[in-house]
Amino acid sequence: MAVTAAYLVTVVSFPKHDIAGLTPLLLYPVLLIAAGRIPLKVIARYLLLAAPFALMVGVFNPLLDRAVALRLGSVAISGGWLSFISIIIRFVLTASAALILLAGTGFGPLCYALGRLGMPRLLVTQFLLLYRFIFIIAEEGVRMTRAWMLRSRRAGNMPLRVWGSLAGHLLLRAYDRGERVHAAMRARGFDGTLRPLLPPRWRWFDAAFVFISVGYFVFARLAHPAEVLGRLTLAVLQ
Amino acid sequence: MSHHLVEVTGLEYTYPDGTRALQGVSFRIEHGGAVGIVGANGAGKSTLLMQFNGCLLPTAGTVRVGDVPVTRQTLPEVRRSVGMIFQDPNDQLFMPTVQEDVAFGPLNQHLPPGDVEQRVEQALAAVNARHLRARPPWQLSGGEKRLAAIASVLAMAPDVLVMDEPSAGLDPQARRRLIELLRGFAHTKIIAAHDLDMIFDLCPRTILLHEGRIAADGLTAAVLTDRDLLVRSGLELPLRLQACPVCVSR
């Protein structure tokens, strides 16, 4: 989590037109996806879901900033386009880093880690229970919708009045279930704290991961490796 | 001091909306006994079960587990000795994996990690569910969820097992396996169910509730064969005591 935070800070700390500087940071998500054997499809699907927000943020930049900032041969690229592309790259890097953290760590350990970092324990418990019961509540919602569809003569969308009543019933059912779950928890000695079965231990591997990753981020931020590599390649070619 | 004994005296319970769910209920269950609680819907079975571990507290009368009366002050002690298995296992399995669910009780008892691990292992072995250990509960079948829920209670090493409709929603073979499993437990067992055949198999004694009162308390072989009494209480004979539909049509 700390490494991801360091990564996010590094990504957003680059100047708005610096696209080349961001490219070396692509190595981090690529390596983690490979090491964690995380299906690329999953990451891509969620990135697409969130993409409209990033597009909305950057879409007017090319119109607002038309000053030429870069020439690639005869093609002039305005500052607006550069910052737009930079926003999209930053979005891909930061969002994928967060998704990788979630996919690689798992929701449970992540919540426990948030608790260790000082998140109120009530919130941690709520997150964990939400993750467990959201599927069951959603299933109940689907069953209620199906029951409405089977008895409704009209095709198409649910009228607002029915929707309101259905949502209200779902809330009451969720509340009832919450009471039952709480009774089951209290029956087994719950005192307000969810205790992990295997509290995470700090291993030398974790220390090495933090050290190497953060070291690389600092190097990528300060030394501009893409530029250095480009100059080196040119020098070799000449 | 034995926690295996359960004694209920003059128990009354009225819900906040004024519904009188239990009236003048008294009985005593000895160490190692297995008692079935039967009755029609709304007879007060679930309300009675909730009194054993203090999920509900009596409006009047007392419930004692061993020498300890069930009161707000004694709840931690009572809940250590009374294990409650709820009707819907989804309500009881709330952790990300089965092993975390089974460990939930022992961890709340502040046992050292080695003991928690041992309890988890033993409880899962007792219900033949060691293979479910790392599985998330929402991926389990109904029968597997039931086993995991029982293991989660066994891990607390209770003296008394209280079960609400343990065979509900199980297919016939899973139901049979559950009956055999429960038969093997030496705990004091209190089982509320509509599955009268299961009560016949597991409980030598049956308490019949009707409209919040005890309509009969005696040997299962006597209570569950009294057709008139059962009909008066909104029930019917256990299926195996009813006429075989094939033989009748011949």
Predicted pLDDT at B155: 92
Specify the CATH number for the domain of residue B234: 3.40.50.300
- Does A213 share its domain with A97? yes
Residue A58 and residue A87: Cα distance in Å, rounded?
6
Predicted pLDDT at B118: 93
Residue B6 and residue A21: Cα distance in Å, rounded?
73
On whether residue A33 sits in a domain, the answer given is: yes
User: For residue range B106-123, what is the model confidence (pLDDT) as tens digits?
Assistant: 998 888 889 999 999 999
Predicted pLDDT at B3: 58
Across the interface, do B95 and A177 touch by the CB < 8 Å criterion? no
B53 CB near a chain A CB, below 8 Å?
yes
- Does A8 share its domain with A93? yes
- If you average pLDDT over each of A11-15, A128-132, A206-210, B167-171, which comes out highest? B167-171
Predicted pLDDT at A199: 67
| Residue in this structure with the two tokens 């509730």, named with its chain if needed | B209
- Give yes or no for residue B150 having a pLDDT over 50: yes
Domain of residue B209 covers: 6-85+159-249
Residue A140 and residue B64: Cα distance in Å, rounded?
38
- Does A21 share its domain with A84? yes
A47 CB near a chain B CB, below 8 Å?
no
Residue B81 and residue B105: Cα distance in Å, rounded?
12
Cβ contacts of A196 on chain B, cutoff 8 Å: 100
Predicted pLDDT at A26: 80
- Nearest-CA residue of chain A relative to B137? A132
Burial (CB < 10 A; 0-12, 13-18, 19+), residue B133, is middle
Across the interface, do B79 and A186 touch by the CB < 8 Å criterion? yes
- Looking at the partner chain, which of A132, A184, A190 has a beta carbon nearest the beta carbon of B96? A132
- Give yes or no for residue B1 having a pLDDT over 50: no
The model's confidence at residue A231, banded by pLDDT at 50, 70 and 90, is: confident
On whether residue B122 sits in a domain, the answer given is: no
Local structure of B105: helix, strand or coil: helix
- Looking at the partner chain, which of A128, A177, A194 has a beta carbon nearest the beta carbon of B91? A177
Residue B151 and residue A20: Cα distance in Å, rounded?
57
- Does A152 share its domain with A221? no
Across the interface, do A190 and B90 touch by the CB < 8 Å criterion? no
Domain of residue A90 covers: 2-105+207-233
- Does A48 share its domain with A66? yes
On whether residue B33 sits in a domain, the answer given is: yes
- Looking at the partner chain, which of A132, A133, A183 has a beta carbon nearest the beta carbon of B55? A183
- Read off the pLDDT of each residue in B56-80 and give the average, rounded to a whole number: 91
The model's confidence at residue A155, banded by pLDDT at 50, 70 and 90, is: low
Across the interface, do A191 and B105 touch by the CB < 8 Å criterion? no
Which of A96-100, A196-200, B191-195 is the least confident region? A196-200
- Does A222 share its domain with A127? no
- Does A169 share its domain with A91? no
pTM of structure: 0.72
User: For residue range A48-64, what is the model confidence (pLDDT) as tens digits?
Assistant: 888 888 788 777 777 77
- Does A92 share its domain with A117? no
* Tally of domains in chain A: 2
* Tally of domains in chain B: 1
- Give yes or no for residue A226 having a pLDDT over 50: yes
Which of A10-14, A91-95, B217-221, B226-230 is the least confident region? A10-14
- Give yes or no for residue B126 having a pLDDT over 80: yes
Cβ contacts of A128 on chain B, cutoff 8 Å: 95-96
